[in-house]
Chains A and B, each alone.
Chain A
């Protein structure tokens, strides 16, 4: 009898405990949102648990959504330039008017054209940075890093790594060839083949985020094309020689947005999460996330960041940087496939 009662009590407890923590928010995110330091204040304030799933690359994220049931996901982080693509496929829900204010944002990263479709806002920019040149200033001449042409000069052959993401690197190769990212269509793309192959020949490796960081940190390579503050900032305390710059040809502006997933059963909670992420406190925590750092879209986050943190983020240089940076290329499906074919050829040669 005692055994039965114990079992019954245990079953009751097991049933009650999840019930007490039933409120959950499922977020499809990039790794910077997985930092407990970012999530804890929201979880405590709303007595909710945020379940996160990391993904890399818009195609992977959209595939996850394609294979999910409506209601599986509540919020999603996505490349700002890919918001329209997600909306087109029916994966993002419009945000209520006035739900999130961008009044304090850096004007250049509000990106209303990209975050809205047919006048409806589907996402809001939350973080941005640059794909440009990251380097070890103890090993290379910083003056050489003022021009992308240095990478093709032969001086740094075998000391270069290429960040393994075709959009920003093809964009940078385009800038080196005098082609703006907005003009990178199928015809312009073929002009990049030769310089891309030469860049590969001059490079030691093509690597993802972790391998790129490892290669720079261990001195395997001295320059990373496609790198930026998002890669060197987390290593700054260990090796202050790791630096980055935007060369005279320009750099690429990456911007990530957050939106509410279509079909969410918790729209109010999803909006609250988006509000938190775009609030000064959330923005400061997101900017200095353990996975990678990046500029907060909301300028008001400056009050919540220390002077050291702002210095690493190059807060005071943003006006100049934003003026010189171009958005990622936004290829149509056919050009995108051609870009990926060229990238695969580069990897295989």
Chain B
């Protein structure tokens, strides 16, 4: 047997467990879900397809269409706000915090990660409530005459999400910033750029890979999240994952839940393709 064939066989052997894992735990369940989405619920029984009536319903029924719109609106808003807050934070930690304090600063930045996601969401429910810390402070300081409703609104959902994703984005952007050679900034300054121009025209573009990667992760995790909108949103509008859970838990409508899940996957795939195109990841 030639060395080339031996190496090929060794390569295949090494890759096989990962491929098998992906086949069993991703490809097969995905195919089962796709097949299920082509069935439909009649009465309380699942009737095998194939037909596209679930997809037709998703794009014609107002409550389901609104679920997609609500999910996209919240996700885009959360991603933009999180990037806007995380970038300066990461930049301050990477460039303004003395090296010996950076580890502590990063630790403090990600400290909330150590709390359970559900507990953190319920904590926000208490903080944002009418009797919560925020309203008490605003009313106490005379900035509001009476409490306003934040809890059980989209604002509460966005706040809960942003708190979580700022930490994630700070890490991805920070890892990008610390890899940048300080010579880029020095060269720009030597050529007459102001500090703001250095940040805007040199540092910011160079950190775009970290920003886009973090933003993509934020987008994927946010649009697929059920817990935060369920606890903080007060069920006053439903996101796509909440609609999926309604089909599963209450209706027992697995075909519609599968169809909605595939729509969710499609949105994530489109987001990935956009990011990959942006970063030209396919060339890496």
Q: Which chain A residues (44-75) contact chain B, with CB distance < 8 Å?
A: 56-57, 59-60, 62-63
Take A220-B131, A334-B43, A348-B62 as given contacts and tell me if A59 and B251 are in contact as well, using a CB distance cutoff of 8 Å.
Answer: yes
Where chain A touches its partner, the secondary structure class is helix
Interface string of B203-236 (1 = CB under 8 A from A): 0000000000000000000000000001100111
Q: Is A158 in the interface zone, CB < 8 Å from B?
A: yes
Q: Is A330 in the interface zone, CB < 8 Å from B?
A: no
Q: Is B129 in the interface zone, CB < 8 Å from A?
A: yes
CB distance from A56 to the nearest CB of B (A): 7
Pick the contact of B43 from A56, A333, A347 — CB < 8 Å?
A333
Q: Is A150 in the interface zone, CB < 8 Å from B?
A: no
CB distance from B261 to the nearest CB of A (A): 15
> Are A207 and B235 in contact (CB-based, < 8 A)?
yes
CB distance from A29 to the nearest CB of B (A): 16
A-B pairs with CB below 8 Å: how many? Answer: 81
Q: Is A205 in the interface zone, CB < 8 Å from B?
A: yes
CB neighbours (8 Å) of A204 from chain B are 149, 152, 234
Pick the contact of A348 from B43, B131, B237, B254 — CB < 8 Å?
B237
CB distance from B138 to the nearest CB of A (A): 16
> Are B252 and A220 in contact (CB-based, < 8 A)?
no
> Are A205 and B235 in contact (CB-based, < 8 A)?
yes
> Are A62 and B235 in contact (CB-based, < 8 A)?
no
> Are A205 and B236 in contact (CB-based, < 8 A)?
yes
Rounded to whole angstroms, the CA-CA distance of A85 and B252 in the bound complex is 13
Rounded to whole angstroms, the CA-CA distance of A158 and B236 in the bound complex is 12
> Are B129 and A218 in contact (CB-based, < 8 A)?
yes
Choose, from B99-107, B182-190, B242-250, B275-283, the stretch at the interface.
B242-250
> Are A164 and B235 in contact (CB-based, < 8 A)?
yes
> Are B252 and A206 in contact (CB-based, < 8 A)?
no
Pick the contact of A59 from B132, B238, B252 — CB < 8 Å?
B252
CB distance from A191 to the nearest CB of B (A): 20
CB neighbours (8 Å) of B234 from chain A are 204-207, 211
Task: Count residues of A near B (Cβ-Cβ below 8 Å).
Answer: 32
Interface string of B171-205 (1 = CB under 8 A from A): 00000000000000000000000000000000000
Most chain B CB atoms below 10 A, which of A336, A340, A348: A348
Pick the contact of A60 from B66, B126, B236, B249 — CB < 8 Å?
B249
CB neighbours (8 Å) of B160 from chain A are none
Q: Is B5 in the interface zone, CB < 8 Å from A?
A: no
Q: Is B63 in the interface zone, CB < 8 Å from A?
A: yes
CB neighbours (8 Å) of A218 from chain B are 126, 129, 131-132
Q: Is B96 in the interface zone, CB < 8 Å from A?
A: no
Q: Is A214 in the interface zone, CB < 8 Å from B?
A: yes
> Are B246 and A206 in contact (CB-based, < 8 A)?
no
Rounded to whole angstroms, the CA-CA distance of A206 and B235 in the bound complex is 5
CB distance from B159 to the nearest CB of A (A): 16
CB neighbours (8 Å) of B237 from chain A are 347-348
Pick the contact of B152 from A60, A205, A340 — CB < 8 Å?
A205
Q: Which chain A residues (331-349) contact chain B, with CB distance < 8 Å?
A: 333-334, 336-337, 340-341, 344-345, 347-348
> Are B252 and A60 in contact (CB-based, < 8 A)?
yes
Take A57-B249, A60-B252 as given contacts and tell me if A214 and B125 are in contact as well, using a CB distance cutoff of 8 Å.
Answer: yes
CB distance from B80 to the nearest CB of A (A): 24
Residue in B closest to A166 when the chains form the complex, CB atoms:
B250
Rounded to whole angstroms, the CA-CA distance of A243 and B267 in the bound complex is 46
Q: Is A41 in the interface zone, CB < 8 Å from B?
A: no
Q: Is B241 in the interface zone, CB < 8 Å from A?
A: no
> Are A158 and B149 in contact (CB-based, < 8 A)?
yes
Residue in A closest to B152 when the chains form the complex, CB atoms:
A205
Most chain A CB atoms below 10 A, which of B41, B129, B235: B235
Q: Which chain B residues (52-74) contact chain A, with CB distance < 8 Å?
A: 62-63, 66-67
CB neighbours (8 Å) of A85 from chain B are 44
5 contacts between A and B (CB under 8 A): A206-B236, A207-B235, A208-B230, A220-B152, A337-B41
Task: Known pairs A60-B249, A220-B151, A345-B62; list 10 more (Cβ under 8 Å).
Answer: A56-B249, A59-B249, A164-B235, A166-B250, A204-B149, A205-B235, A340-B246, A345-B63, A347-B63, A348-B67
